[in-house]
A and B are shown apart, each in its own frame.
Chain A
Amino acid sequence: MRTMPTDACLDPYVRCALSGAAQTALGVSDSAVLAHAPQGCNYLVDGAFSWQDCDYAQTTTLCTKLCEDEIVHGGEELLARTILEAKELDISALFVLSACGPEIVGDDIVAVCEDMQPKVDFKIIPIECAGFRGSQYDGIDLALDAMLRTLAETRPTIPNSVCLVAPHANANPTWMADLAWVKDVLSRLGVQVVATLTHATPLSDLADVAAAEGVLQLSHDAGYRAVAYLADTFGVEPLCAELPLPIGMTNARRWLTSLGERFDAEPIAENMIADGERMVTETCRRRWPMARFFYRTPAAIVADATIGIPLVRFATEEMELTPALVALRSANLDAERLLERELNELGLAPQVVCGTDVYTTRRSLEAVRPRVVFGSTIERHASEGLDVPYIFEVVRPVRQFRLLNREYFGYRGILNLLECIQNEWSDRWRSTQRRYAARW
């Protein structure tokens, strides 16, 4: 049964379009982001800063700090002045992002950026991304759209090459490791990555993006529009478009096989699959994870579509759980169709919620009463009193601090997920009280 919250009162998981656009702009290296917004919205940009794993020594965020005066009389002049202030920064691009206030009062950031362009040495890229335009995923799409339309140029196609889209629309708290795994795999298959949209992306890569032979979308939540634009405008071929991302044995195998076939590198792909599967099995044999006796225990998956959809198969096949609830943070028709295909193939009929909010999640958990939840810290608290013994915190926000990136994609990704499950399993066995005190 598929449901979707349509209520007026929402307690949402995902932030607004401004936040998503900032996440995307901050993925371009050697640039700065200027929020044309009241000062509070700048905190969303700061949040995006950590999402893109930015180094604050190299990336600067600015804000026009709009007050009542600019809302009444317009803030274009202030924006122009602030762009000039940024002249002292050593950057190659300045992304100008507009928030709700200036867009409603009609500030034309595109025109201001055009006017100011001759006066500065860096490229100015306006992105109209007011919060009311949609969710953070819509913001990612708006920003990618602005970047591609402004910067992408027709180039001769580079054989055996791809561009990567929306790696940051992924709720793995250290999604950069997923991206790194993809790049490593492509390199081993002899495939060149022309551009990544976006993470530590040089501005010049954005101009070259259309030279790619294929485009790999690394999210089920965002990036569909960018893939379509690249395909329609430049003839870049979408790859692995009908497959869940490579989390778990089957998904990884299918994904690698598809890439191997496309780039005439089947033997390499087959070797990678064989080595990977062997490594996972042998590691488990050596370390002997005890958290493997969940046989057909009802489980809930509450996550973004990027992690949530592939997790369905991982939970069902690797962990032998039975997904009873799949609640996705985003509502996207392409992702929903993919999920439906997966469920049909696996013969599962869980409750499905698309675009869930925290309240709907709580009510769904209450109705389904799973014994295991794949989710975040939010579900840990939201399932209080519902007698859910295991909450595997795999998507942002998680309690455990990670200093090193951990991927979920690929074969080490399987081990990372198993480690997370094992640790939660061990915690569940901790005794909360001592039966007697030691004598020393």
Chain B
Amino acid sequence: MEPDERDDIVFHGTLQQLVEKVERGEMVPKLQASHAPMCKFFTSFYVISGIRHVVPLVHGPTGCPLWVSDIVRTRECCEFRGVPLEPTACTSLDETNVIYGGEGKLLEAVKEADERYHPDLIVILSCCCSGIIGDDVESVAREAEKFVHARVLALRSEGFGGDFRSGYEDAFELIMDLMEPPKTIRKRTINLIGARMGPSLTEFSDDLDEITKLLHEVGVKINAVIAGGCTVEEIRRAREVELNASWCYDWGQKLGDAMEARFGIPYSRTGQPYGLKATEEWLMGIARPLGLEKEAERVIREETERIRPDLDYLQRTLEGKTAIIEISEFPGPIRALSLARMAEECGAHPVVINVHPYTIKERMPSIKFLLETGVNPEVILTKGLFRLGSFRSSRETERELEGIVSSFDDPIFFGNAARYPGCPVVNLTLLNPVYLPHYGFRGIHNIAALLRQAMENQRLPRSTLFRGMLYGNETS
């Protein structure tokens, strides 16, 4: 059955057409209870905790910080990221504070945090409680600074106050307040912006390592990765650079634009370095304004030569194929769209499945940028995406995916191994560090390796155990 003849498809068109529908409000999901991404507070917290020796001081009850701190303290902190146990402090607001206000308690908490943890920076994060009762966190921050050694800033990050995008955008904007007027301009030095790599559950560092390595080979120095384990001192000196470049366009774009508008620091606008062309663009976008074009061309030439067999394999294998890219099973929608571009560059026809309208709405600036750069793949949304409940949704989308895949000739699925579409599965999960990074030249090598193992092993049986775990014992 052709995709358009299926009754489980609710949208079939281009990314551009989907964006237009979302802008007109046509695709906004009716089910309020489905699809709940992180709130503004979470993403604010993630960005702030990417600064070293910072106390993110949550002005709220114990529940808000504890979701993130459970991760900070266990999986992510000292075990995975090599960072020390960091505080996830809060004012632990109770009923009395909600009635009478918690500003006095907050002031005391700032003093205690300074005395206990000796931080360079304390960021007060308001949450729903303190936001609704009207505690003036900015004034408390200003007042508290008189009593403590650390800088004290306040961020209005109430969970109801915006979507997850507004959280990190506001956090990056706040960080700008720490940036001091430049004493000098450091030649061939940049900031990498848009990262969130603290002790909390955010990005894995392999992609950052790859682009950092490439920049060093070109002769570019990095002042700070904001906020990927940078120090307050590095942020203070962030205006001494010649250029800003994004580690992740989606998260970096607002800070890049704001620093350009406020401080006049140019910003290299490029997508994520997935595949050869995007990697070239990313690297040249930095090298050109710094006068390092020749060095960058040399690095690109040498690296391209080194991975030539991988590039040839990708081209040979993907030519004429349909690359089915399922966004909900991919490590991030922008990454999935970046991969769609890479697949097209290798001769495949990309078809993107199940990019949630919420995702389009929340990431509109980044998606519009990708459209401007020519990324406009075919998009299919299925009914299952809008089902209530994660199990029902994933079981139905699995069934729909299997049906859709069977309607294409020579399909290859790009997503992760939690899908069973009956065609080769390129397992692009970030949870298998053996095949990271995905960025840059090493990324091309890894994606080629993942494609090779998908193609060469496609006849091997899939796990009925894991399939049953995910979708129950009958899906088709």
Residues of B within 8 A of A62 (CB): 33, 388-389
Contact between A38 and B39, CB atoms less than 8 A apart: yes
Most buried by A among B32, B70, B84: B32
B317 beta carbon closer than 8 Å to chain A: no
Range for the number of chain A residues in contact with chain B: 35 or more
Set of chain B residues within 8 Å of A61, measured between Cβ atoms: 389
Whether B90 and A43, one on each chain, are in contact in the complex, defined by CB atoms closer than 8 angstroms, is no
Q: How far is the CB of A122 from chain B (nearest CB, A)?
A: 14
Q: A18 near B106 (CB under 8 angstroms)? A: no
User: Is A10 a contact partner of B91 (Cβ separation < 8 A)?
Assistant: yes
Which residues of chain B are near A16, meaning CB under 8 Å? 61-64, 66
Stretch of B13-21, B126-134, B302-310, B441-449 contacting A (4+ beta carbons < 8 Å): B126-134
A61 smallest CB distance to B (angstroms): 8
- Which B residues touch A104, using CB under 8 A? 98, 128-129, 132-133
Interface string of B53-74 (1 = CB under 8 A from A): 0000100111111110110011
B472 within 8 A of A: yes
Which residues 23-63 in A have Cβ within 8 Å of B in the complex?
Answer: 32, 34, 38-44, 47, 56-58, 60-63
Given contacts A82-B33, A131-B64, A381-B77, contact A9 B57 (CB under 8 A): yes
CB distance from A385 to the nearest CB of B (A): 10
CA A61 – CA B162 in complex, angstroms?
22
Beyond A10-B91, A39-B159, whether A57 also contacts B472 by CB under 8 A is yes
Among the interface residues A34, A44, A61, A132, which one has the most CB atoms of the partner chain B within 10 A?
Answer: A132
Q: How far is the CA of A397 from the CA of B32 in the complex (A)?
A: 33
State whether the Cβ of B3 lies closer than 8 Å to any Cβ in chain A.
no
Is the CB of A382 closer than 8 A to any CB of chain B?
yes
Q: How far is the CA of A206 from the CA of B118 in the complex (A)?
A: 51
Contact: B33 with A9, CB < 8 Å?
A: no
A100 at the B interface (CB under 8 A): yes
Contact size class for B? Answer: 35 or more
Check A11 against B472 for contact (C-beta < 8 Å).
no
- Is B39 a contact of A39 with CB atoms below 8 Å? yes
Docked-complex contact A38 and B159, CB < 8 angstroms? yes
The distance from the CB of A51 to the nearest CB of chain B, in whole angstroms, is 11
- A41 — which chain B residues lie within 8 A by C-beta? 39, 63, 128, 159
Q: Would you call B41 an interface residue if the criterion is a C-beta within 8 Å of the partner chain's C-beta atoms? A: yes
CA of A18 to CA of B110, assembled, Å: 26
Out of B85, B159, B472, name the residue touching A101 (CB < 8 Å).
Answer: B159
Cross-interface CB contact of A40 among B31, B41, B95, B109, cutoff 8 Å: B41
* B389 with A60: CB separation less than 8 A: yes
Q: Is A213 part of the contact surface with B, judged by Cβ < 8 Å? A: no
Question: Which of B106, B388, B390 is within 8 Å of A86, CB to CB?
Answer: B388
The reply on A384 being an interface residue by CB < 8 A is: yes
Chain A positions 1-33 with a Cβ under 8 Å from a chain B Cβ: 7-12, 14-19, 32
A66 proximal to B (CB < 8 A)? yes
Docked-complex contact A40 and B159, CB < 8 angstroms: yes
A381 in complex: contacting residue of B85, B97, B391, CB < 8 Å = B85
- Measured CB to CB, the nearest residue on chain A to B78 is A381
Judge whether B381 is part of the interface by a CB distance below 8 angstroms: no
A39 to B35, CA, bound (A): 9
Q: Check: A322 CB closer than 8 A to any chain B CB.
A: no
**CB atoms of A9 and B129 under 8 A apart:** no
Question: How far, in angstroms, from A19 to B62 measured CA to CA in the complex?
Answer: 10
**Complex interface: chain A residues within 8 A of B74 (CB):** 377-378, 397, 399
Bound together, the chains give a CA A331 to CA B28 distance in angstroms of 46
A53-89 interface with B by 8 A CB criterion: 56-58, 60-68, 70-71, 78, 81-82, 85-86, 88-89
Q: Is B212 an interface residue when CB atoms closer than 8 A count as contact? A: no
A266 → chain B closest CB, angstroms = 44
A89 vs B31: C-alpha distance in the bound complex, in angstroms? 13
Q: Which residues of B contact A63 (CB under 8 A)?
A: 32-33, 36
Most-contacted residue by chain A among B36, B65, B106, B127 (CB, 10 A) = B36
A62 to B34, CA, bound (A): 7
Residue B233 is within 8 A (CB to CB) of chain A in the complex: no
| A358 interface residue per 8 A CB criterion | yes
Residues of A near B88 (CB, < 8 A) are: 11
Whether A105 sits at the interface, judged by CB under 8 Å, is yes
Q: Is the CB of B36 within 8 A of A39?
A: yes
CB-CB nearest in chain A for B70: A397
**A135 in the interface (beta carbon within 8 A):** yes
CB of A99 within 8 Å of the partner chain: yes
**Chain A 123-147 against B: per-residue CB contact (8 Å), 1 yes, 0 no?**
0000000111111000000000000
Q: Which residue of A lies closest to B33 (CB)?
A: A62
The chain B residue with its CB closest to the CB of A398 is B74
Instruction: Find the A residue at minimum CB distance from B87.
Output: A11
Complex contact A82–B32 (CB within 8 A): yes
A8 with B106: CB separation less than 8 A = yes
Cα A197 to Cα B155 with chains together (Å): 40
Interface membership of chain B positions 30-46, coded 1 if the CB is closer than 8 angstroms to chain A and 0 otherwise: 01110011111110000
What is the CA–CA distance of A18 and B105 in the complex, to the nearest angstrom?
22
**B263: CB under 8 A from chain A?**
no
Question: Are B391 and A60 closer than 8 Å at their CB atoms?
Answer: yes
Which of A11, A44, A397 touches B67 (beta carbons < 8 Å)? A44
A294 interfacial contact with B, CB 8 Å: no
- With a cutoff of 8 Å between Cβ atoms, the chain B residues found around residue A89 in the complex are 388-389
**A70-120 CB contacts (< 8 Å) to partner B:** 70-71, 78, 81-82, 85-86, 88-89, 99-101, 104-105
In the assembled complex, which residues on chain B have CB atoms less than 8 Å from the CB atom of A397?
A: 70, 73-74
Q: Provide a sorted-by-A list of 18 A–B residue pairs whose CB atoms are within 8 angstroms.
A: A8-B108, A10-B90, A11-B89, A38-B158, A38-B159, A38-B160, A40-B41, A41-B128, A67-B160, A78-B32, A85-B32, A86-B388, A100-B128, A101-B159, A131-B129, A132-B94, A378-B73, A381-B73
**New A-B pairs, 13, CB < 8 Å, besides A12-B65, A384-B78:** A12-B90, A16-B63, A19-B66, A57-B391, A71-B128, A78-B32, A100-B128, A131-B61, A132-B61, A133-B95, A359-B116, A378-B85, A381-B85
